[in-house]
Chains A and B, each alone.
Chain A
Amino acid sequence: MSSNQNNRLETGGRIDRSKPLTFTWNGKQFQGYQGDTLASAMLANDIKVVGRSFKYSRPRGIFGHGAEEANALMQLGVGKETIPNPRATQIELFNGLTATATNGWPNADFDLMEWVGKIGGKMMPPGFYYKTFMWPEKMWMTYEKFIRKAAGYGKASLEADPDTYDKMNRHCDVMVVGSGPAGLAAALEAGRAGKRVILADEQNEFGGTLLASKQTINGQPASEWAEAAAAELAAMDNVLCLTRTTVFGYYDQNFLGALERRTDHDGMTAKSGTRQRIHRIRAHQVVLASGAIERPLVFANNDLPGVMLSGSVATYVNRFGVVPGNRCVVMTTNDSGYQTALDITAAGRTVVAIVDTRHNPAGRLVDAARAAGITVKAGHAIIEAKGSKQVTDALVAPIDATGENLTGPATSMSCDLIAVAGGWSPVVHLSCHTGSRPQWSDEVAAFVPGPTIQHQHLAGAINGEYTTAGALNTGAQMGAKAAGSEAASTYDCGDESVCPAQAMYLVPHTKPVSRAPKQFVDFQNDVTAAGIELANREGFESIEHVKRYTAMGFGTDQGKTGNINGMAITAKNLGKTIAETGTTIFRPAYTPVTFGAIGGRDIGELLDPSRHTAMHPWHLDNGALFENVGQWKRPWYYPQAGESMQQTLNRECMAVRNSVGILDASTLGKIDIQGKDAREFLNRVYTNAFSKLAVGKCRYGLMLKEDGMVFDDGVTACLGENHFLMTTTSGGAAGVMAWLEMWSQTEWPELEVYFTSVTDHWATCSFSGPNARKVLEKLCDDVDLSSDAFKFMDWREGTVADIKARIFRISFTGELAFEVNVPANQGLYMWQKIMAAGEEFGITPYGTESMHVLRAEKGYIIVGQDTDGSVTPQDCGMHWVVGKNKEFSFLGKRSFSRPDTSREDRKHLVGLKPIDPTAVIPEGSQIVADPNQPIPMDMLGHVTSSYWSECLGHGIAMGTVISGQHKMGETVYCPLADGRVLAAEICSPVFYDPKGERHHD
């Protein structure tokens, strides 16, 4: 094991040197300390190359210290626990942690693709994939496989995640995002005012930049002040403190999503409880104190390992006791770099020089650096980094005051670390999520949040307030404002004066951009200044187009460090200002959210509730296979040992035709309708008349949308003069309920009518076949079941197996049939009683598949299978169900006479009898008139239902055919994908018992 943390300082930082932790990186063991991130531990061990770049396979190193890190994406853990692509800078070190690079082949340190990148680099401009691999089109799939393997990021596990995740709903008065100086001050004000406050921060402890600061706050060391503030907030009952919690999305009306990593710091899987939790937060007021991210500068080879953000270097030194190099050159456009140089010097390492693009830097920090003996090269810039797998030299050249031109030859400085301070970009991401466009501020030289309708307040660096006292004081003011009070505290951090910064993005080189070594803008997507220039030259001027063409700002990084530089380069190329060029806007999520957390507990059986009928246990016991109908589990068929599916269906169907079969019909939607105007209401929503439906009678009804198309169907029974029971399709029940309620509430409030869904209240045993009556007779003796007394489409109340039941004589099979409805609690009992009574007749349970066959033999439609929202009653030959003389113009009626609805050459639903009696045409087959017509053939329609009919001895089908009702007896063809062509004769869809004698028996 390598335990020599060469870059670790003897003292200092918020790590515990008494608690060493072992971790494995790319198969080798290393040591870090409690309090480290994986990134700080890797830097302590002088690990330079942590991955390969996306397109060019260039070696990349750790570059930031938090969410802005674009290079150090890890494959964390192995096997089912593994997580792809977390940033090393955001992974808290734990003992036994294992990580590998997400890319690089054969490995990150030696990567063959690098040579492809070097040789092919010139050949891989933006739009390369579109330009090259899209042609020939057929080869795209082949190319893509290769590209994915070569480029790819981490891999997700294919095994089930061993952890649990959950979600919590939260409400608060004030939500504070970020716990740096601004966030802490805001939370303190709101908390002290007694408001319900939630404070969330992505790091393991509150304090943000204060944790790595050497400043004082009202005379107290900054980190101590932060600890005291955090302790005060933790002690408040009205404040919820969420560390390790990233607010990843800000949605409409102050709704925020926050991901809390509860146990990630403690091992790969949670020892107990949930690993991660999403807090769904509804806040009255939101204070955004999300800070700012430091910008890199765009110079040649600025992606070499050893080139880092200046503030990140300072953070590693001060917070983790790690100096990521021994000889550092600082490149800066502002005073931030000076503080880093001072921190490195204080840590006993060498600062070769501060290269400042400004010509006359002066003031507090500049003086301090000079006093510390640091060389300051004013009016200079690093134009290129040198090295192969890490920085070995910096090429420094003088530049003019505009920062656009070199004014002298470059000189080389030997170094192993370049700290870059290019200014700061406010983290405006969250404010963008609600649709607010960021605005350019010349004063801040960055985009700041734009106007919003949310109850949102901005505090600290997100609004360009970069001094610690400024962040604290605006934080206090905004926290108080959000709480409806006045700020009680003011803060002083001593002299924080700075020399004005220079706005600088692309650093000039001795060669033009297109010839210079690569100057990277977006590290994660390998977008270079030359690439953006080319895109602009090719006519991509809108920043949104530039983004999509070059892929700038894509991926898990979302342009955190690159976007502003890219926009500045585009603006310069187009001769516009950045404000004119504008910005793309950021969408959720700020940093990636695991699918485990998004799923939460809504996985497996809890993903979607499944509904079971009262008889479900019986179906299970009797070997039923199930079909999903909406959320219902319906018995599909009941195979017996050794039976094929078709054999089962044949047996089930023949039992119904020859004796008696039984179906669990409980899932049919049932709506109880009452009120003195119920009858009139039904008249309006159904195509046929209900005015004269007598108590004890049932009627089949068809429901249309206003466009005249079939929407639902079912049988409605008249239970009393003002009382009806409507049945709907199983899948359409909820939609029909909402439909009826809508018309009742919005158009016809004057009709007194009430709707109650009673689908789950009743269990329905539907048994049909020539022996159905004999079965019922054994169980029921208080209803005259004779054919004359209890007619088809009648219903009776009676006692069945000693239970009060509603008996409906309705049929969906074409046979004599009864539906016995009992309260669901008695459904299983009733089913068992009917099975026992039917035993002597060989009563046979059948499922939805046989039900489909039996109804298709009779030509009964299934709404949603034989209709698709474009079928009128006339189209499916159901003129008989449309009332001609109804007084009220029922829903959809007026549309019948629209030209498109009334034309004769619409598609009609007809029967199709295969010419080959053994053939069953696949459902969905297209129907054509001439199978020899060259492709594309003229389509006449398609097959909607098709089955083998055992009782008829041939296949049967229904389908839509243009003018089908006028083509009876004609032959049409179904060309199949396998080359066969099946011929069929157009016929009536009623294949079985066309006179309907059997169900009247």
Chain B
Amino acid sequence: MLHIYCPYCEEMREEEEFSYSGEAHIARPTDPESLTDAQWGDYVFFRTNPRGLHHEMWNHAAGCRRYFNATRNTQTYEIHETYKMGEQPTVTGGKP
């Protein structure tokens, strides 16, 4: 069971309080109607599935109910950082 730091509550809490909410930093296109079907399909359906570092959204569902981001290693389950919505990750494994 993961031990997750909620950046809003500023506390380590048990995974049971959280729900997973998919890949982070997927911005909704500002003008969907101008996109090609392929571009829109990419936004709606396609997500990365890396072995290693993954930036993902979590919701502190049984806590403050805030959404936040986490950088988690999908192989070791290590959570390197959690950060607030709108912030950028500092652990990127050398990728921008």
Physical interaction between A and B:
yes
Interface residues of A (CB under 8 A from B): 251-255, 282, 434-435, 453, 706-707, 738, 741-742, 745-747, 749, 889, 893-895, 897-899
- New A-B contacts (8) at CB < 8 Å, excluding given A435-B76, A738-B19, A749-B85: A253-B1, A706-B43, A741-B65, A745-B67, A746-B85, A889-B31, A894-B32, A899-B37
- Contact A747 B37, beta carbon cutoff 8 Å: no
Contact of B77 among A252, A742, A747 (CB under 8 A): A252
A-facing residues in B2-33 (Cβ within 8 Å): 2-3, 14, 19, 21, 27-28, 31-33
* CB-CB nearest in chain B for A888: B32
Q: Is B86 an interface residue (CB 8 A)?
A: yes
Binary A-proximity of B55-93 (CB < 8 A = 1, otherwise 0):
001010100011100000001111100000110000000
Q: Is B77 in contact with A253, judged by CB distance below 8 angstroms?
A: yes
| Complex Cα spacing A746 to B22, Å | 12
B76 adjacent to A894 (CB under 8 Å): no
On whether A898 and B85 interact (CB within 8 A), knowing A738-B19, A742-B67, the answer reads no
Q: Which 7 A-B pairs have the closest CB atoms?
A: A894-B32, A253-B3, A889-B32, A252-B77, A745-B67, A706-B44, A255-B1
Complex CA distance for A899 and B14, rounded to whole angstroms: 44
| A435–B1 CA distance with the chains assembled, in angstroms | 13
Partner pick for B44 among A282, A435, A707, A745, CB 8 A cutoff: A707
With A253-B3, A453-B78, A889-B32 known as contacts, the answer to whether A895 contacts B61 (CB < 8 A) is no
Q: Which residues on the B side are within 8 Å of A898 (C-beta)?
A: 37, 40-41
What is the CA–CA distance of A746 and B24 in the complex, to the nearest angstrom? 10
Interface size on B, residues (CB 8 A): 31
A-B contacts, 24 of them at CB < 8 A, read A252-B77, A253-B1, A253-B2, A253-B3, A253-B77, A253-B78, A253-B79, A255-B1, A434-B77, A435-B75, A435-B76, A453-B76, A707-B45, A738-B61, A741-B65, A742-B59, A745-B85, A746-B85, A747-B27, A749-B85, A889-B31, A894-B35, A894-B40, A898-B41
Minimal beta-carbon separation of B94 from chain A (angstroms): 19
On chain B, the residues within 8 Å of A252 by CB distance are 1-3, 77
In the docked arrangement, what's the CA distance between A745 and B68, Å? 9
Q: Which of the residues A254, A453, A746 comes within 8 Å of B57, measured between beta carbons?
A: A746
| A741 vs B75: C-alpha distance when bound (angstroms) | 30
A889–B77 Cα gap in the complex (Å)?
37
Q: How many A-B contacts if CB must be within 8 Å? A: 62
Q: Which residue of A lies closest to B61 (CB)?
A: A738
Q: Which residues of B contact A706 (CB under 8 A)?
A: 28, 43-44
Within the complex, the shortest CB–CB distance from B29 to chain A, in Å, comes to 8
Q: Is A741 a contact of B2 with CB atoms below 8 Å?
A: no
The answer to whether A895 touches B21, judged by C-beta atoms less than 8 angstroms apart, is no
List of A residues within 8 angstroms of B1 by Cβ: 251-253, 255
Give chain B residues whose Cβ lies under 8 Å from the Cβ of A742. 21, 59, 67
Q: Max chain B CB contacts within 10 Å: which of A706, A745, A899? A: A745
Q: Are A895 and B76 in contact, CB atoms less than 8 angstroms apart?
A: no
B63 to nearest A CB, angstroms?
13
Q: CA separation between A434 and B1, bound complex, in Å?
A: 10
> Do A895 and B40 touch (CB < 8 A)?
yes
User: Within 8 Å CB of B19, what residues of A?
Assistant: 738
Return the chain A residue nearest B41 by Cβ: A898
With the chains together, A435 CA to B67 CA distance in Å?
Answer: 28
Closest approach, in angstroms, between the C-beta of A860 and any C-beta of chain B? Answer: 28
Q: Are A749 and B86 in contact (CB under 8 A)?
A: yes
CA distance A897 to B33 in the complex (A): 9
Partner of B67, one of A253, A282, A741: A741
Distance A367 CA – B65 CA, assembled complex (angstroms): 71
Residues of A within 8 A of B31 (CB): 889
Neighbouring B residues of A251 by C-beta, 8 Å: 1
B54 to chain A, nearest CB (A): 15
Q: In the complex the two chains form, what is the Cα distance from A897 to B38 in whole Å?
A: 12
Chain A hits for B79, CB < 8 A: 253
Residues of B within 8 A of A434 (CB): 77
**When chains A and B are docked, how far (Å) is the Cα of A895 from the Cα of B44?**
9
A894 to B35, CA, bound (A): 9
**Most interface-central of B21, B32, B40, B77 (chain A CB within 10 A):** B32
Provide the bound-state CA to CA distance between A741 and B66, in Å. 8
Chain A residues with CB under 8 Å of B28's CB are 706, 747
Closest residue to B14 on the A side, CB-wise?
Answer: A282
Docked complex Cα distance between A747 and B27 (Å): 7
Q: Which residue of B lies closest to A282 (CB)?
A: B3
Nearest CB in chain B to that of A891: its residue? B28
Alpha-carbon distance between A707 and B77 when the two chains are bound, in angstroms:
30
